[in-house]
């Protein structure tokens, strides 16, 4: 590398895009948006770590003044997922819940308070199932089958990855250490709250503002336009 060349990025400070507006409180997040005649949604979540959904009664919630709609997993039966090998996510749980906090039903109302109160009107009958509370329990043979498609027990896939000549690498190594290493999952930590706002226009297109990363900030799929802030 020519040391006489002046670096444009490395070792130089810069201003993060959007940082000033965030510091000044000017950034508009999805949760800040308010559209005309907007409805508010609240989600009823599971109180069981693993259980079958025997029945859901939404009749009382639908009778509450200000509630326009209540849906359950039967209204959204098609599973999805980020990876092709694990299309096991559900917008609302259909047959069973797999963790405390799993979404079971959703309410749309004229205001947030009504939507929140309507959740208490929904009656859910659960049939508790055996639970898996640790990695060790998940690896062991157990009657608690969280997902039915697992290769064995609750192990989705057996994968062994080796790169290069392992024996040669060990023979040339100055030190060899054998241990069990745990890597905790991590995620981004944005200032924005989890929120989504959708608007159906007169042209039949749906515009969605959400707190998801802008992987596709200006795409259109099957008449649905998406934007992310």
- What is this structure's pTM? 0.73
Q: 149 — phi, psi (to 5°)? A: -90, 5
Are 125 and 199 contained in the same domain? no
Are 122 and 50 contained in the same domain? yes
Q: Is 75 within the bounds of a domain?
A: yes
Provide the residue range defining the domain that includes 206.
Answer: 194-229
Q: Is 160 within the bounds of a domain?
A: no
Give yes or no for a contact between 195 and 211, defined as CB atoms under 8 angstroms apart.
yes
Q: Is 140 within the bounds of a domain?
A: no
> Which pLDDT does position 222 carry in this prediction?
36
- Structural domain count, the chain: 2
* pLDDT tens digits for range 120-161: 999 999 999 999 988 888 888 777 888 888 777 888 877 888
The label of the residue with tokens 């200000």 reads: 66
Q: Is 103 within the bounds of a domain?
A: yes
List the CATH number of the domain containing 39. Answer: 3.90.1170.50
pLDDT grade, residue 219 (50/70/90)? Answer: very low
Question: pLDDT exceeding 70 applies to what percent of the chain?
Answer: 88
Are 116 and 199 contained in the same domain? no
Residue 7 has pLDDT above 70, yes or no: no
Q: Is 136 within the bounds of a domain?
A: no
Give yes or no for a contact between 138 and 155, defined as CB atoms under 8 angstroms apart.
yes
58-97 exposure pattern, b = at least 16 Cβ within 10 A, e = fewer? beebeebeebeebebbeebeeeeeeeeeeeeebbbbbebb
* For range 79-87, the mean pLDDT: 84
């Amino acid at each position: 590398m020519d040391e006489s060349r002046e670096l444009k990025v490395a070792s130089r400070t810069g201003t993060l895009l959007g940082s000033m507006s965030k510091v000044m409180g000017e950034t508009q997040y999805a949760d800040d948006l308010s559209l005309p005649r907007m409805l508010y949604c609240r989600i009823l979540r599971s109180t069981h770590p693993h259980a079958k959904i025997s029945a859901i009664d939404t009749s009382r919630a639908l009778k509450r003044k200000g509630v326009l709609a209540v849906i359950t997993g039967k209204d959204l039966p098609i599973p999805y997922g980020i990876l092709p090998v694990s299309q096991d996510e559900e917008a609302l749980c259909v047959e069973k819940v797999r963790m405390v906090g799993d979404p079971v039903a959703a309410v749309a109302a004229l205001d947030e308070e009504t939507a929140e109160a309507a959740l208490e009107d929904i009656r859910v009958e659960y049939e508790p199932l055996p639970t898996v509370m640790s990695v060790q329990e998940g690896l062991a043979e157990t009657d608690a089958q969280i997902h039915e498609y697992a290769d064995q027990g609750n192990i989705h896939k057996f994968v062994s990855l080796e790169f290069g000549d392992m024996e040669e690498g060990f023979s040339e190594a100055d030190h060899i250490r054998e241990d069990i290493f745990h890597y905790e999952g991590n995620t981004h930590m944005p200032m924005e709250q989890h929120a989504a706002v959708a608007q159906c226009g007169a042209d039949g297109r749906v515009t969605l503002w959400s707190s998801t990363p802008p992987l596709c900030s200006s795409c259109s799929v099957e008449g649905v336009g998406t934007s992310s802030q």
